[in-house]
Structure 1
Amino acid sequence: MGQRIAVLGAGPMGLAVAYQLARDGHHPVLFEADDRVGGMTAAFDFSGLSIERYYHFHCTSDQAFLTILEELGLSEKMHWVETRMGYWYQNRLQAWGNPVALLKFRGLSLAAKVRYGLHAFLCTKRKDWRPLDSIEAAGWIRRWVGAEAWEVLWRRLFDYKFYEYGDNLSAAWIWSRIRRIGRSRYNLFREKLGYLDGGSSTLLKALHADIERHGGVIRLKSPISRVVIEQGQVRGVEVNGQVEGFDKVVSTVPLPYVPRLIPDLPSEIRQYFESVKSIAVVCVIVKLRKALTGYFWLNTSDPEMDIPGLVEYTNLRPLDQHLVYVPFYVPGEHPLFAEPDDFFIKKVRGYLKKINPQLSDADFIDIRASRYRYAQPICEPGHLDKLPPVALPVKGLWVADTSYYYPEDRGISESIGFGRRMAKSAVS
């Protein structure tokens, strides 16, 4: 006889929890405040095209993602494409992402190129991240690549991705990002990334259907107001003014939401969740009549652009029009995050015209902006040791978000893998 378990949040992690619980014979009820499942992977109607609000891609090393595709019968919908990276620097488009491109890169000395390349290569070969756990990332990178390569290739990434948090990040966390891309390569010179037919919606719809087919329930537009705890044990959740009883509760919502949803947590745990730092994002998506560049990922280092890069999505997944994602990562408390959508849209029009002067106003078919307050948790040195345990000292309560699979960066595959493991532990 299975247990009745409330799962909070229908992003990839929450869906994976409910999927595993339902397949194991339990009775998950998944509560989601939004009108659709997916969280940051959810799609929207972009003038007739259903597309994700925030870009995603897949690497050959994304084992948990590939495993669940096989279980759901979706493996044939996965496609692998040779992609290219570029760099916008000194008002010039340059190739990037392989040793030849590095050697030909204009604006960097040979010594700086060698140091940068050696660091990237060793990162892809490193297996043990623990020695990097207590090291601050910016200093670690500067020591390896030198002041010149740091200034040209890294500083703006830290400035425009992390702002005031950029001087206290875990080197293990940054290393995992370098390694993931490095492991997506055929060899030193060729990169391979993947996409699903229909995008992430294909996976989300299949997960939704599979959860319900195995007896689970998904309740959209159903934000819970409180997890009910009595005498140190979960009793249920309050939703729409009513308390519903559950054997257990598994929360996958961003940690900063947890103190409000679970106010009866032990004080030291509640205080930790209240202190968690996160980066927000305003992501502008553009539909163009012509290609911007030939690159999938374009790093940018330009004093007139307050972004670390952009993604030309249709250089991975072919579509009828050309799609470009331009993310502005910024702390949620920063005044920039309060600016209206038009502020960011105007910036992006100017950036794209600068990168490709052949673009005219007539080439912009549509342009939108989406926002996500807790897009990127900040992982400081020693992050994992500071996290409360997933199984909290309240009987029947499990809490985690994307920061719990540190040192890996947030991603669909990592969320699926962690969510499935959390589901197993919750009923063991």
Structure 2
Amino acid sequence: MSVATGAETLVPARLSLRDAARVAAVGIRARPTRAGLSALGIAIGVASIVAVLGLSSSSQAGLLAEIDKLGTNLLTVGTGQSFSGEDAQLPITAPAMIGRLDGVEQVAEVGEVGTAKVYRSPLIPEVNTNALRVQATSLNLLPVVATSVAQGAWLNEATQNEPVVVLGSVAAERLGISRVYEGQRIWLGGQWFYVAGILEPATLSSDIDASALIGFPAAQKYLNHTSLVAGESTHGPPTTIFVRTDTDQVGSVQDLLARTANPGSPNEVDVSQPSDTLTARAAAAGAFNSLFLGLGAVALVVGAVGVANIMVISVLERRSEIGLRRALGATTGQIRTQFLSEAVMLSLLGGLVGELAGVLATVVYAEAKDWTVVVPVQAWAGGIIAAILIGAVSGLLPAMRAARLSPTEALRTV
């Protein structure tokens, strides 16, 4: 306060940060229920923002870790379309030619037997195909596409020549087959095939999951999947070729695949990298975050209205306190700082509670999904900054209103 003694005038002491925090805390503790309800909106909004960003980042980290584990050096060569718009066909020599490229480590192939359908039994109506595919396969398919046998056994040199089938994970599920036992059969291509095994999901090749896989010799012998090479009948052409490359040479190999697979018509060959598709899927998943972040922003706005409301009411209820402090020498700036600090502290408390709730939700869900827990800096830092800004904005008008009250007008309510 200002006190004049002769020629000397005492300048009012500035309200320190510590004193402002203590005074604000007293105001909040005096009305705990109302303060808690007002801070609840802030807490919900901040928790939503932190949880959405945290879960999104954790999900993407989990998927990218899975991609890294499976390998980013897998390329696929598929059939495109001819100039006339018809489905093109890969040469039967394409896998062997690709295998001669520098940087190529492994090559596996599958060939779709388009005329063959697969059913649990011949009693199933023909239209109920379950969108399953019958594909002939080379014996080295599993390590190339980074999958394994879940039950039973994979094809071998003997069984690839016989009516023996291995089911992808989705194919087994749609056929209602959950285990493999001796003598188990399915109706494939109009005849019985014995089920040798069921595969684990193939993350990098979803087509394998929905396929019934048989050997190329069996496809030629039992399903007439054939080609003519130099006038002689041999097994049918591949429709997809899987290529594992040296990690440092993925780009150079990718540039040569189309011309190597089909030198006469490289434009009829599709070359892709499955890991790129999965990475794009991880990025696309973040696009849905905007909706949830919008809901979090709405909750923050509601919380801001609640804080502003309680501060306006607080000013009306505490006019006597304001008048007494003004009469004792408190300046308008100190009164304004007191109420502004109270609004910021109220929002900050709600923000901290929301931060903890959002992080806890991220940890619990990510652990349940076996994801790496990731809470990005912008999530928790943004939550705190948003809480402080909301407190400052929502408390500014009530603080200015309190500062404008004159001591005499305020003390009339005592």
Normalised TM-score (structure 2): 0.23
Structure having the higher Rg: 2
Q: Which structure features the higher share of strand residues?
A: 1
Normalised TM-score (structure 1): 0.22
Q: Which structure features the higher share of helix residues?
A: 2
Q: Which has the higher contact order (CA 8 A, sep 6+)?
A: 2
